[in-house]
A and B are shown apart, each in its own frame.
Chain A
Amino acid sequence: DAGVTQSPTHLIKTRGQQVTLRCSPKSGHDTVSWYQQALGQGPQFIFQYYEEEERQRGNFPDRFSGHQFPNYSSELNVNALLLGDSALYLCASSPTGGYSPLHFGNGTRLTVT
């Protein structure tokens, strides 16, 4: 049973460019959340998708957007990249409802130069 998978594992972009990160949730999970983890910090919640809709959003600008597909996979898009967007981007999935821990992928390391 595959866990949460993310692609690519590493990415280097230039300021002002746009990036798309991808995530496939754990089998049986229908809710996908995205987190940003700066070096030496805990993950920060970006947003969550359920039934192809954004259900919750953290304190991130509109440059950060996402999408969820009918097969529950998800994309995170970041426009007009800034140096400060350099971080590890984590995708997490969970089943809807109840008290279930999030399962995380190994992340995409984004470097903006």
Chain B
Amino acid sequence: GESVGLHLPTLSVQEGDNSIINCAYSNSASDYFIWYKQESGKGPQFIIDIRSNMDKRQGQRVTVLLNKTVKHLSLQIAATQPGDSAVYFCAENRETDKLIFGTGTRLQVFP
């Protein structure tokens, strides 16, 4: 079936290193993708988004890459900090704001 999934359930990185979180999607018709960060006890927080007519978009310390050929999405976090520790979700936008989420990747940052 159609789904948005993640390759790694848990990613551990050292403070100051760069983090890369990957995501695969299956619906080639999806045209909008969003990364969310979710801390314990909170709702998902918007990080960055990208439309399918782009292959890269940068924000503050974060970059999203989209490879439509292989239906792959990644989130890069530069100089990872302890405050980046959370669960990260990619979401695929279908049918007017109906988001399809993956199961998430937990990012753990250690000193």
Contacts and interface: CB of A to CB of B under 8 A. Distances in A.
Interface of A: 4, 31, 33, 35, 40-45, 48, 55-56, 58, 90, 92, 94, 99-107
Contacts of B51: 99
B97 A94 contact: yes
Interface of B: 4, 32, 34, 36, 41-46, 49, 51, 89, 91, 93, 95-104
Contact of B101 (A40, A43, A101): A43
B98 A58 contact: yes
| Chain B interface, DSSP helix/strand/loop, else mixed | strand
A44 B104 CA distance: 12
A56 B98 CA distance: 8
B49 A99 contact: yes
Nearest to A88: B43
B96 A106 contact: no
Given A31-B97, A101-B34, A106-B43, 17 more contacts: A4-B43, A33-B99, A41-B104, A42-B91, A43-B89, A43-B101, A44-B101, A45-B99, A48-B97, A56-B98, A58-B98, A94-B97, A99-B93, A102-B34, A103-B46, A104-B45, A106-B42
